[in-house]
Amino acid sequence: MPRILDGNRVRDDIKSELKPRVEALAAQGRPPGLAVVLVGHHPASEIYVRNKIKTCHDLGIYSESITPPDSISTAELLAIVLALNARPEIDGILVQLPLPPQVDTKRILMAVTPAKDVDGFHPCNVGALVANLPAPRACTPAGIIELLKRGGIPIAGRRAVVVGRSDIVGKPAAMLLLHEHATVTICHSKTPDLPAVCREADILVAAIGRAAMITRDFIRQGATVIDVGTNYIQDRDLAARIFRNSPEKLASFDRRGSVLVGDVDPIDVVERAGAYTPVPGGVGPLTIAMLMVNTVASAERRSGVC
Ligand code: GUN
């Protein structure tokens, strides 16, 4: 049986490490502060933001959510971001993506002052990532590195293949793996013979957004497989196929009307991988943990602790 890289355990460890840092900041004057901007009513985003706010609460981090309507304009959202930039008690600003189509997402992300950009999405922080300079790193990719390191998976000298080239996950994950001295390949929808390229991976990162796309023929025996996918399947036949008619999974589907599936086939990965991240309970918890790390680090920098 492969080893499970347990995201919930790593998240709890990171939260325990953060607690004294939050307490020290609070004792010194004020706790770290995070503002989350959630536009409209995107169901998955609402769940993510609720979990982010709850984790702030657990740690004693001040948080607030700003929830403008779906109809907001770029100018109105810019005004919200600029007001948050100016507030001294706010150390981190996160604008939950995706934004509605009428909003110019790049302009909004560029408006967040780089020192408060706890998502690591501002071009200044992306530049710092490429140059390997200290700055907030994108949370999901940073979480992947934590999972690998704390899971005892060697990275230096290994072959890493990242499937997906998004600005949020694929590109920064590839860069972080490169800084850890992996030999990195980034693949995407135009890559010829994707299974063959993936089979070269010692570390395979799937960040495509397509349920169970990575099947056994993509996975080298013994590889470490990191599944970033969070796909809610609403088609019962598809769920039955992916979970090979598992009675528990189908009962869960029948209760909820959907089931969560990663980008990696959940049965094939158990048969092929040496270690893997489950969905749920793998990468997901780390995204929030690393947001907390970035928020605390931002508060420390801004208060002169480091
Ligand atoms: N939407 C999905 N993932 C993320 C993330 O890491 N940050 C933000 N701001 N939005 C997201």
In a domain, 121, yes or no: no
Distance of CA 255 to the CA centre of its chain: 27
**Ligand 1: residue whose CA is nearest its atom 2:** 97
Q: Are residues 101 and 151 in the same domain?
A: no
Ligand 1 center–CA 59 separation, angstroms: 20
Query: For residue 244, what are the contacts with CB-CB under 8 A and spacing of at least 6?
Result: 267
Average pLDDT over residues 88-92: 98
Q: Are residues 168 and 220 in the same domain?
A: yes
Q: Are residues 104 and 150 in the same domain?
A: no
Report the pLDDT value the prediction gives residue 304, as an integer from 0 to 100.
84
Model confidence over 135-174: pLDDT tens digits?
999 999 999 999 999 999 999 999 999 999 999 999 999 9
Q: Which domain holds residue 256?
A: 139-284
**Ligand 1: residue whose CA is nearest its atom 3:** 97
Model confidence over 180-211: pLDDT tens digits?
999 999 999 999 999 999 999 999 999 999 99
- Of 168, 290, 294, best ligand 1 pocket probe by most atoms within 8 Å of the beta carbon: 168
| pLDDT more than 90, % of the chain | 98
Residue 106 pLDDT greater than 90, yes or no: yes
Q: Are residues 217 and 264 in the same domain?
A: yes
Number of domains making up the chain: 2
In a domain, 131, yes or no: no
Residue ending a domain, among 60, 85, 116, is 116
Q: Are residues 109 and 156 in the same domain?
A: no
With bands split at pLDDT 50, 70 and 90, how would you rate the model's confidence at 305? confident
Q: Are residues 75 and 195 in the same domain?
A: no
Report the pLDDT value the prediction gives residue 306, as an integer from 0 to 100.
62
With bands split at pLDDT 50, 70 and 90, how would you rate the model's confidence at 14? very high
Ligand 1 center–CA 246 separation, angstroms: 31
With bands split at pLDDT 50, 70 and 90, how would you rate the model's confidence at 97? very high
Domain CATH for 240: 3.40.50.720
DSSP letter at 264 equals B
Residue ending a domain, among 116, 149, 179, is 116
Average pLDDT over residues 62-82: 98
The model's pTM is 0.97
Average pLDDT over residues 78-107: 98
Q: Are residues 108 and 178 in the same domain?
A: no
| Catalytic residue ranges | 52, 96, 119
Average pLDDT, the chain: 97
38/242 Cα distance (integer angstroms): 32
Residue 43 pLDDT greater than 90, yes or no: no
Model confidence over 128-137: pLDDT tens digits?
999 999 999 9
Q: Are residues 207 and 81 in the same domain?
A: no
Ligand 1 center–CA 137 separation, angstroms: 12
In a domain, 51, yes or no: yes
Q: Are residues 94 and 178 in the same domain?
A: no
Report the pLDDT value the prediction gives residue 157, as an integer from 0 to 100.
98
- Point out the ligand 1 atom lying closest to the alpha carbon of residue 287: 6
Ligand 1 center–CA 97 separation, angstroms: 5
- What are the residue ranges of helices labelled H in the chain? 7-28, 43-59, 74-85, 105-111, 123-130, 139-150, 170-179, 194-198, 236-242, 247-256, 268-272, 284-303
Distances (CA, A) of 162 to 123, 124, 137, 182, 214: 21, 23, 17, 11, 12
Q: Which segment of 41-45, 96-100, 221-225 scores lowest on mean pLDDT?
A: 41-45
In a domain, 127, yes or no: no
294/169 Cα distance (integer angstroms): 16
